[in-house]
């Protein structure tokens, strides 16, 4: 459960691109857009993997069955799909994909 002060910091490598406030039921990509950070996307359902980013710090819920845009190796590297995953606490995300 997040509070009103939970934030996502968006980086590309070491460069801070923006900071967004976590809101109930908003996907990572929606929070990024509000923060002025562009993350490429295509399908918005977790199928294509276009929105793959790397979770550096924080927690995200993974579905029991991973969507086609993710596999166990990518998850082990911190890979998350910005279009369809929800952040549950203050986090740091590198918008550069983990691979």
d(CA 62, CA 6): 19
Instruction: Write down the domain spans for the chain.
Output: 7-94
26 has which bridge partners?
A: none
Residue 95 contacts residue 17 (beta carbons within 8 Å) = yes
pTM score > 0.75 for this model? yes
Which residues 6+ apart lie within 8 Å of 27 measured at CB?
82, 83, 84, 85, 86
Q: Which residue has the tokens 């590297």?
A: 77
User: Using 50, 70 and 90 to split pLDDT, how confident is the model at 99?
Assistant: low
The class level of CATH for 7-94 reads alpha beta
The residue among 29, 22, 16, 15 whose CA lies nearest residue 88 is: 22
In the chain, % helix, strand, coil (3-state, to 5) comes to 10, 30, 60
Strands 7-12 and 15-21: what pairing? Answer: antiparallel
pLDDT tens digit sequence for 8-58: 999 999 999 999 999 888 999 999 999 999 999 998 889 999 999 999 999
Q: What is the mean pLDDT of residues 66-84?
A: 93
């Amino acid at each position: 459960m997040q509070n009103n002060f939970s934030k996502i910091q968006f980086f590309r490598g070491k460069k801070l691109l923006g900071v967004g406030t976590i809101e109930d039921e908003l996907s990572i990509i929606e929070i990024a857009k509000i923060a002025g950070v562009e993350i490429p996307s295509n399908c918005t359902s977790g199928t294509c993997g276009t929105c793959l980013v790397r979770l550096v710090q924080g927690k995200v819920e993974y579905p029991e069955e991973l969507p086609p845009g993710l596999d166990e190796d990518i998850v082990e590297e911190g890979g998350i799909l910005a279009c369809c995953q929800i952040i549950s606490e203050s986090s740091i995300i590198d918008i550069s994909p983990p691979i």
